[in-house]
Amino acid sequence: MLRASAGGFGFLGLAGLLAEESGLLASPSGNPLAERPPHFKPRARRVIFLFMHGGPSGIDILDPKERLTRDHGKPLPIERPLAFDDENPAGPLMQSPWEFRPGGRSGLPISDLFPHVRDCADDLCVIRSMVGEGVDHGAAMLQTFTGTSTFVRPSMGSWVVYGLGTENQNLPGFIMIKPALSHGGAKNWGSAFLPGAYQGTAVGHGGLYVKDVRKEPIRYLLNERYSPELARYELDMLQNINRRHRQMRRHDPELEARIQAFELAFRMQAAAPEVFEVEKESEPTRRLYGLDDPLTADFGWQCLLARRMAERGVRYIQCTHTYMPGGVGWDQHGELYAKHTDNARQVDRPIAGLLKDLKGRGLLEDTLVIWAGEFGRTPVSQNGDGRDHNPYGYSIWMAGGGVKGGIAYGATDEFGYHAVEDRMHIHDFHATMLHLLGIDHEKLTYTYGGRNFRLTDVAGVVAHKILA
């Protein structure tokens, strides 16, 4: 077992392990990130996750509720489940301040918060019946990203790369663009007990401006001191020392593995910076993502970068709209109208731009785009004009990557409080995502501490109805 292998492991040890652990074929090269065939034919080859930190309100965006309009101001007639913020007690039912209108040929209703995304309605598979267990942000985010709200477990991006490897060996396989450091922080993209090779690589963090992220997008990636020739000259000296050292120490594959790791690193530092050259995109493309408007430039940059990474074979990419400089996050316990409006303005155009661009390039077919927060918000008001957290029934959407477009799946009760039809627990969501990637979530396992673990714990049902 991994932790018991004498003196750790190099690539070779790990590859054998992967084969045994996951039932997936190990690559002959023994590189832990080498591409591995899925369990069955995949619908999606990669994931772009657009994470809306704070909890956007599904009933104001994707899940219209007539009853709220009709009974606006009346008390909630059903028992209220555990809430997050009891110091600011719940008010009565509150109607959505936004109009819903049909989008695309499918007529899928989307509110005026997202007019640009509404133009892409025919590509969206809206899931109105998400269910989680975390009532606070930390628990809900951990569960969204790792399947559990209380333990430290590998994140879903780590599981995906562990299962499939990655297509481009010169880039990390799992990248988090400007992730939030609060509410779980790096645990949300950590590999926990999976080998470190599978942890997410952060590009900056949520507290930074894009201009600062661009200076050093990935730590240690750039060598600005030497010319490539001089860097190679230095590396040759190092490898010389290493090979002489190894010759005197036979039968130790780790030493050779470390020599190879330097060669791989050298290739990465040469190839990777190109992916960040967003300014090389054409003017119309940059406009499409809203890079021309200070309001949308941050998330636009994230989305455009995500597309460039997707094109270059990064397996799992996440963009995060968070409590960034000048932003307030989606956590509207008050001032829902004002702040959801601000938030949506910042992401609507970039997201629509991403969908259209992916589609135009034929990438949407095998790229699964997911838009989600850590939970939704309550149908009852709080502080007069806000909404509390609601993990009991909330909405997200998926697009591309083998899901049906222009449909709404599942339903909440008439208030939008509890999911009642085709409930999709976070475990089911994970199972479905893995299924689209060609992975049987019950077979993607890893033994640790005497137990076999998987992303979906003991649960998870694939939502076959949404598969195209």
Instruction: Pick out residues in 203-262 that bind other proteins (CB under 8 A).
Output: 205-207, 219-223, 225-226, 229-231, 233-235, 237-238, 240-242, 244-246, 249-252, 254-255, 257-259, 261-262
* 457 is a contact residue toward other proteins (CB under 8 A): yes
Q: Which is nearer to other proteins, 314 or 354 (CB)?
A: 314
- Least distance from other proteins to the Cβ atom of residue 279, Å: 23
447 touches other proteins (CB under 8 A): yes
d(CA 101, CA 104): 10
| Tokens representing residue 240 in the block | 């010389």
Residue whose CB is less far from other proteins, 87 or 279: 87
> Taking the complex as a whole, how short is the minimal distance between the CB of residue 52 and other proteins, in angstroms?
17
Scan residues 161-180 and list those touching other proteins (CB under 8 A).
172, 180
Q: Is 34 in the site for other proteins (CB under 8 A)?
A: no
Distance CA 180, CA 182 (A): 6
Does 2 interact with other proteins (rule: CB under 8 A)? yes
Regarding 435 and contact with other proteins (CB under 8 A), the answer is no
C-alpha–C-alpha distance, residues 325 and 307, integer Å: 23
Tokens 């408007």 locate to 293
Q: For other proteins, which is the closer residue by CB, 78 or 241?
A: 241
- The single-letter code of the amino acid at 104 is G
- Write out the binding residues for other proteins, residues 364-403 only, by CB under 8 A: 381, 383-386
Question: Rounded to the nearest whole angstrom, what is the least distance from the CB of residue 4 to other proteins in the complex?
Answer: 4
- Rounded Cα distance between 370 and 358, Å, is 13
- Establish if 152 lies at the interface with other proteins (CB under 8 A): yes
Nearer to other proteins among residue 134 and residue 401 (C-beta): 134
Q: How far is the CB of 258 from other proteins (least distance, A)?
A: 5
Does 139 bind other proteins (CB under 8 A)? Our answer is yes
Which residue's CB is nearer to other proteins, number 76 or number 461?
461
- Under the criterion CB under 8 A, does residue 335 sit at the interface with other proteins? yes
- Please answer whether residues 347 and 295 qualify as being in contact, where contact means their C-beta atoms are separated by less than 8 angstroms: no
Please tell me whether residue 190 binds other proteins under the rule CB under 8 A: yes
Spell out, one character per residue from 259 to 288, where the chain touches other proteins: x when CB under 8 A holds, - when not: x-xx-xxx-xx-------------------
Q: How many residues bind other proteins (CB under 8 A)?
A: 126
Among 149, 320, 367, 412, binds other proteins (CB under 8 A): 149
451 binds other proteins (CB under 8 A): yes
Least separation, in Å, of the C-beta of 341 and other proteins?
5
Neighbours of 307 (CB within 10 A): 22
Q: Are 351 and 371 in contact (CB under 8 A)?
A: yes
Residues in contact with 101: Cβ distance below 8 Å, sequence separation at least 6, in sequence order: 109, 110, 111, 112, 118
- H/E stretch holding 126 reads strand 124-131
* Angle at alpha carbon of residue 82, lines to 80 and 83, rounded to 5°: 90
Concatenating the DSSP letter of every residue in 385-451 gives: TEEEEE-SSEEEEEESTTBPSSEEE-EE-TTSSSEEES-EEHHHHHHHHHHHTT--TTT--EEETTE
Q: Could you tell me if 376 and 134 are in contact, meaning their C-beta atoms sit under 8 angstroms apart?
A: no
Write the DSSP string, 294-312: HHHHHHHHHHHHHHHHHHT
Report CA Rg, the chain.
23
Give the residue with the Cβ less far from other proteins, 354 or 394. 394
| Least distance CB 403 / other proteins (angstroms) | 17
User: Which residue in 41, 79, 82, 247 binds other proteins (CB under 8 A)?
Assistant: 82
CB of 229 to other proteins, least distance (A): 7
